[in-house]
Amino acid sequence: MLLAVMALVTGLFWFSRVPTARDRSGFLIGMAVLVVIFVSPLCALTVALFSARVVHHVLLVAVAAPLLAWALIGLCRAQTPRLALALPHLTTPLLVLHTVIFWLWHIPDAYALALSSTSLYWVMQATLLGSALLFWASVLLATPGRAIAALIGIAIQMGLLGALLVFSATPLYFPHLGTTAAFGLSPLEDQQLAGLIMWVPASLPYLLVAVLRLGTWLRSEARQA
């Protein structure tokens, strides 16, 4: 069912008149990342390991979301121009919104609740991806200074949450207390590994885009000078 929905969405985007070849390529890569997240063995591994769940979430919000946002910007400009004009001015509120949603679903009780209900699980995935899409679209449309500040801000909050997980003295996530031993990890070690992933690798896509925006900004200033 999920693959059918993803194929339908991809077909609708592919055959619409607005996307360029670059947009279609970005969209296909983004959808391929979603397939890895939800259909590959990684998805099954997230049931046992919290560290795999963090990889899942990082791929969702920091890899798939920017690729899809990049591809959908042209469609947004054509179909909803007012939204495209408003998004660059909403970068800070969308940063706050995405941060709140990301932290909310990593509160141990909320996380356990999401894994106990199929409907809540998909609410978690939809809100993470939806808020990330809006955030990335605003960043890609915003002025370089505003975009760089937002990207650094999101990287900092991601690192902070990762640090809290690394330095926690006890395992916090009940669904994984009895599922990690088969992989040679204690629940606390699994949680610490998840924190390290969130602390360092998860920040890299945001910092990479910030550097690219900075380079473009400096070249533009140099040409004007």
| Structural domain count, the chain | 1
pLDDT recorded at residue 28: 92
Nearest to 207 by CA among 132, 131, 150, 126: 150
The number of helices, as runs of H, and strands, as runs of E, in the chain is 12, 0
Q: What angle do CA 206, 212, 217 make, to 5 degrees?
A: 125
Pick the more confident residue, 117 or 18. 117
- pLDDT exceeds 90 at position 18: no
Mean pLDDT computed over 122-151: 97
Mean pLDDT computed over 155-168: 96
Q: How far apart are CA 36 and CA 18, in angstroms?
A: 27
Lowest mean pLDDT among 23-32, 75-84, 156-165, 190-199: 75-84
Nearest to 202 by CA among 163, 158, 167: 158
Tens of pLDDT, residues 105-119: 999 999 999 999 999
171 SS3 class:
coil
Nearest to 100 by CA among 59, 139, 157: 157
The rounded mean pLDDT for the chain is 93
Alpha helix (H) residue ranges in 87-117? 91-104, 108-116
Q: Give 105's contacts (C-beta < 8 A, 6+ positions apart).
A: 57, 111, 114, 124, 127, 128
- pLDDT exceeds 80 at position 19: no
- pLDDT exceeds 90 at position 129: yes
Range of the domain at 16: 2-224
Q: Which residue has the tokens 């009780």?
A: 109
